[in-house]
Amino acid sequence: MLQDKTILVGITGSVAAYKAVDLIRRLRDAGATVRAIMTSSAERFITPLSVALACGEPALTSLFDQPFSHIDLPAKADVLVVAPATANILGKFANGIADDLLSTSYLVFRGPLVVAPAMNWRMYEHPAVKKNLATLLAQGASLVDPQRGTLACGEEGVGKMADVDAVIEGIRIALAPKDLAGERVLITAGPTREPIDPVRFLSNRSSGKMGYELARVARRRGAHVTLISGPTALPSPSGVTTVRVETALEMYTAVKERAGGATIAIMAAAVADFCASEQRTVKAEKQDMSLLQLDRTPDILAAIGALENKPFTVGFAAETGFRIDRAERKMVDKRADMMVFNDVLQEGSGFDTDTNVVTIISREDGGVLRKEHLPLMSKEAVASAIFDSILAHKG
Ligand SMILES: Cc1cc2nc3c(=O)[nH]c(=O)nc-3n(C[C@H](O)[C@H](O)[C@H](O)COP(=O)(O)O)c2cc1C
């Protein structure tokens, strides 16, 4: 999404200014062109040389160095991100004050604004700062919330600039089309764990990455997203309601509670098919082979498919080998509207990778199944393609 985008980064006078260098590098690594404007206070914290080296272009610091840079830079930019954003710059932006290159460029710019405030917690709580921020948000700006922590002044409170990852996610949100606005998307992700005794469980190799990418992409595109996640090492995506569960039964219950309110349900979790018939309360002896008496777990996809007013329902079928026929049968049997098939043995596909190779199976008018084979892609790109396909078929 950042590939070939031009991002104008504003850097203001906060101790957090050094984080802007990492931000710029990461944006360029993602394929963006970055231009930077520093306020004169920012120059007290980091040098224009560091910023220029990160950008590969001079960092501009004055309205008068390159006449009309306040017109040219905003005209070429797809998004303006101010990180860190001082109380001062928020006040200037909110009140139309144009007394330096950054604040003047803001008034010229017509695209999305992302601000990542950083300041002492008392400053952040001040009614004047709150009012200025509210004005900017009402005008459509995106806020990357500052975090709680020990601030540069040594005090504890909310005012630390967000992580660079969160700022980049804020930029992606600002750039994404909002074609899923109004949709309530329910997504499951990750494996489930079926306890055998207090120390052992049955599970599988799912990392949750595909489901988490789906949640992030849906949120960026304007949906209200609920993610029901089995145990994963992944942080909850920002702006997404994440419900953490452990077993297939817990996932089933969490999904059933929320499916009625969803307009789209995507069941990307690798739900364990079996659970132990009996769950021991103390650790079983290793000689005890009766330990592995198995029962079937509830079928979550089929339960959604059976709902009277079911959401547009998407299932995932991970197979070993190109058994697309099994995915098609699953789609019909479970009344899913779409199926995403992948062969986990294929290079770059399946569990715990950042890429996937999938086939999207959808229904044409008249019920004929249509298969769309996608090439090797990042899981983020696969998630975007799945939502494009959902929008094309959902009606
Ligand atoms: C050591 C130091 C740290 C500062 N940190 C912040 C900060 O994190 N956030 C903030 O809003 N102001 C901070 N200030 C105050 C701003 O630098 C000051 O308001 C300045 O006018 C901001 O100018 P600018 O918005 O044009 O960069 C700090 C000042 C000093 C001396």
Q: What is the pLDDT of residue 395?
A: 76
Query: Is the Cβ atom of 115 under 6 angstroms away from ligand 1?
Result: no
CB 132 near ligand 1, within 6 Å: no
Q: Is the CB of 87 under 6 A from ligand 1?
A: yes
CA–CA distances in Å: residue 371 to residues 118, 318, 319: 49, 16, 16
Go through the domains of the chain in sequence order and give each one's CATH number. Answer: 6-175 (3.40.50.1950), 184-394 (3.40.50.10300)
pLDDT in tens, 347-379: 877 677 889 999 999 998 777 889 999 999 999
pLDDT band at 104 (very low <50, low <70, confident <90, very high): very high
Pairing of strands 201-202, 294-296: unpaired
Give the Cα separation of 275 and 296 in Å (integer).
6
- Vertex 235, ends 229 and 238: CA angle to 5°? 95
Assess contact for 183 and 224: CB atoms under 8 A.
yes
Round the average pLDDT of the chain to a whole number and report it. 94
Ligand 1 atom with the shortest distance to the CA of 86: 11
* For range 170-197, the mean pLDDT: 96
Instruction: Supply the residue whose CA is at minimum distance from atom 4 of ligand 1.
Output: 14
Mutate to test the pocket of ligand 1, among 14, 15, 60, 62 (most ligand atoms within 8 A of CB): 14
Average pLDDT over residues 100-117: 98
Token couple for 245: 């569960």
- For ligand 1, say whether the CB of 88 is within 6 Å of any of its atoms: yes
Q: What percent of the chain has pLDDT over 90?
A: 85
Residue from 265, 235, 236, 237 nearest 251 by CA:
265
312 φ, ψ to 5°?
-60, 120
Contact between 41 and 13 under an 8 Å Cβ cutoff? The reply is yes
CB of residue 13 inside a 6 A radius of ligand 1: yes
Mean pLDDT over residues 22-34, rounded? Answer: 98
* Cα–Cα distance measured from residue 315 to residue 301, given in angstroms and rounded to the nearest whole number: 7
pTM of this prediction? 0.85
Q: How far apart are CA 383 and CA 304, in angstroms?
A: 21
Question: Among the listed ranges 91-100, 115-124, 324-333, which one has the minimum average pLDDT value?
Answer: 324-333
At residue 241, the pLDDT reads 97
Q: Of 153, 199, 292, 306, which residue is the catalytic one? A: 153
- The CA 302 to ligand 1 mean position distance, Å, reads 56
pLDDT higher than threshold 90 for residue 288 = no
How confident is the model over 285-295, as a mean pLDDT? Answer: 82
**What is the pLDDT at residue 367?**
79
Q: Express as a percent the part of the chain with pLDDT over 70.
A: 100
Q: For 238, phi and psi rounded to 5 degrees?
A: -70, 145
Give residue 44's pLDDT. 98
Report pLDDT for 352. 74
pLDDT of residue 345: 83
Mean pLDDT of 148-176: 93
Reported as half-sphere exposure (CB side, CA atoms, 13 A), residue 177 has a value of 6
Most confident of 75-89, 146-160, 195-209, 307-321: 75-89
> For the chain, what is the largest distance between any 2 Cα atoms, rounded to a whole number of angstroms?
82
Query: Can you tell me the distance from the alpha carbon of 29 to that of 380, in angstroms, rounded to the nearest whole number?
Result: 16
Q: 153 an active-site residue?
A: yes
Structure tokens at 140: 């459509």
What does the block give as tokens for 205? 């190799």
119 lines ligand 1 (CB under 6 A): yes
**Position 336, amino acid:** A
Residue range 13-23: mean pLDDT, rounded = 98
Helix, strand, coil percentages for the chain (3-state, nearest 5): 35, 25, 40
Give the integer Cα–Cα distance in Å for 379 and 224: 20
More confident residue, 395 or 70: 70
Cα angle: 127, vertex 130, 131; to 5 degrees: 85
